[in-house]
Amino acid sequence: MERTYIADLNTKVGESVLIKGWVSVRRDQGKMIFFDFRDMTGSVQGVVLPDSAAMDAGKEARSEYVVAVEGLVNKRPEKNVQTGKQNGGIELQIEKIEIINRAETPPFEITGDTSAIGEDVRLQYRYLDLRSERMQQNIRLRSEFVQKAREFLFKKRFTEIETPLLTESTPEGSRDFVVPSRLHPGEFYALPQSPQQYKQLLMVGGFERYFQIARAIRDEDLRADRGFEHTQIDVEMSFVEQEDVMSMIEAMLIEIAESMGRTIKQKPFPRFTYAEAMERFGADKFDLRTPEEKEAGVLAYAWIYKFPFFEKTDDGGWTFTHNPFSMPVPEHIDWVLNKENIGDILTTQYDIVCNGFEAGGGSIRSHNPDILRSVYDIMGYSKDDTEERVGHMLEAFKYGTPPHGGIALGVERNVMNLTNETYLREVQAFPMTRGGLTAVMKAPKPLTDKQLKELGIRVDVPEKKHD
Ligand code: ASP
C-alpha cells in the first residue's frame, strides 16, 4: 500500500490507509490502546480495538518508536470531535502496526514546549528537540520565509549567486574567524563576515541584480540574539539609488509577511532620520507597537536613514559607523573628498527595524575609487595600507563600475519577529551553546599533532578540556 501523509487522512474517510511516522503518545487502557502518531505533516489519533490483530505490536510500541501503521480512517462520533485540532474529526482504527525501529526513552520530554529545558541537554540531543512541535513549526516557518524571499527576488530578475567561504577578511567591524592554509603554511583565510566585497564585484561583473542566502560568520560576544553564525538575505543592485533599494525591500517584506497572514502596522513603512530616531526614541532601534498590537503579533517596520558616516575612535581618530564602502549622501561627497566636516558627514546607509530589533541594513556604495580612497584616508590608513586592504576594489572600480547599492536582512532576526521567539537558538536548527560550543558534535577541539604539523602551527596554550 502506498503511504498516506497524516495531513491528507481527512480526505480518506472510509478507506484503508498506510501511514509512517513516530509514536508520540501511547495510552494503554488494557483492552484498547490509544496512540497519537505523527509525521512531518501532522498528527492523528489511532486506536487498537480489543480484537485487533495489531494488539501485540500495540502493546510493544512506545513513544518515539518508528512505525508503519495500517488502518481504517473513521469519522469520530459527533460528541468526540475535537474542533480546531488537526484531524480532530477522524481517528485511525488500527489494523496492523509494523515496528520499523525502536527508541530509548528520550532524555527529556519532547511532546510539549521544550524551551524551558536546559540548553546543554537540548543542544546535545538537538535532533530530539527538533521533533517537538514548536521547533518543527519554527524551522519550517524559517524555510517558508526564505522560500518566499527567493520567489519574490526571482520575479524581480535577481540571480542567486554563491560567494566563497574561504576568503580574505572584510572590514565589517567584527573579529574574523580564521582558517589556516596547508598549502601556504603560516597564512590564513578568513571566513566571511558578509559577502560585501564579492557582491560589489558581481556588480562590476555585470549581474546587476544579485542575491544570496548567505552565511555571515563573526567572532562576536555571544548574546541571546547573536551567535557566531547567522544567515542573511544578501542583496545588491546596480543602477539604483537609495529609494530603489528601500522600496524593493519594503515590497518584499510586505509580500512575505502578508502572504504568511501577518498584519503590518503601517504601510509604507515610516521613515526616520538617525537624528529624529535618537531624539524621539533615544536609540536607532525602537518598537512602534502598542501593547495590544504586541499581543496580536503585529509587525511594525520602520526605516532609519541619514546615519553619520564616521564616529570617533578611542584614540581620537575616525572610523566608519556602518560600512566603509558606503557612499556619502550626495551633498556631502565633497566633504569626503576634501576631508572636511567629518563628524557631520552623512552616509546613504539605511537600516530597517522591526518590533524593536534591527532586521537589516545596507547602503549605496561609492563606485568611484576616489571616494573610497578618501574614506580610508579619513580613517587614518596610509596609501599602502589602503592598497593592502581594498586595493582590489579600487582596481575593479577602474573598469566601468555601475552605481550600485544593496542590503542584508537577517534571516534569524526576521524569523524571530514572525515567531515571537526571543532566542536565536529557537530559529536555528543547530545553534551553538552560550559558551560557543557546537550542538551535538564537539567543536572547538584541539587538532591532532599530525594536522598541526601539516599546517605548520605550534599551539601556545595549555591543553584544556571542555566539560
Ligand atoms: N554587508 C552589510 C552587513 O552585513 C550589509 C550591506 O551593506 O549590504 O551588514
Q: Whose CA is nearest to atom 8 of ligand 1?
A: 407
Query: Around 260, how many Cα atoms within 13 Å sit in the side-chain half-sphere?
Result: 26
Residue bearing cell 517584506: 253
- CA 250 to ligand 1 center in whole angstroms: 16
Which residue, among 29, 94, 34, 33, has the nearest Cα to 68 in the 3D structure?
A: 94
Nearest to 62 by CA among 109, 101, 4: 101
Instruction: Report the candidate in 416, 411, 438, 417 with the shortest Cα–Cα distance to residue 426.
Output: 416
pLDDT at site 16: 98
Q: Is 363 in the pocket of ligand 1 (CB under 6 A)?
A: yes
CB 163 less than 6 A from any atom of ligand 1: no
Contact 54, 18 (CB under 8 A): no
Instruction: Quote the pLDDT of residue 59.
Output: 97
Smallest CA separation from ligand 1 atom 4, residue:
194
Give 231: exposed, middle or buried? Use CB within 10 Å, 0-12, 13-18, 19+: buried
CA–CA distance, 432 with 397 (Å, rounded to integer): 39
Give, using CA atoms, the residue closest to atom 7 of ligand 1: 362
pLDDT for res 169: 73
Mutate to test the pocket of ligand 1, among 170, 198, 234 (most ligand atoms within 8 A of CB): 234
58 C-beta closer than 6 A to ligand 1: no
pLDDT at 462: 76
- β partners of residue 229: 217
pLDDT tens digits in sequence order for the chain, 467 residues long:
999 999 999 999 999 999 999 999 999 999 999 999 999 999 999 999 999 999 999 999 999 999 999 999 999 988 889 888 899 999 999 999 999 999 999 999 999 999 999 999 999 999 999 999 999 999 999 999 999 999 999 999 999 999 999 999 766 578 999 999 999 999 999 999 999 999 999 999 999 999 999 999 999 888 877 889 999 999 999 999 999 999 999 999 999 999 999 999 999 999 999 999 999 999 999 999 999 999 999 999 999 999 999 999 999 999 999 999 999 999 999 999 999 999 999 999 999 999 999 999 999 999 999 999 999 999 999 999 999 999 999 999 999 999 999 999 999 999 999 999 999 999 999 999 989 999 999 999 999 999 999 999 999 987 666 55
Which pLDDT score is estimated for 18?
98
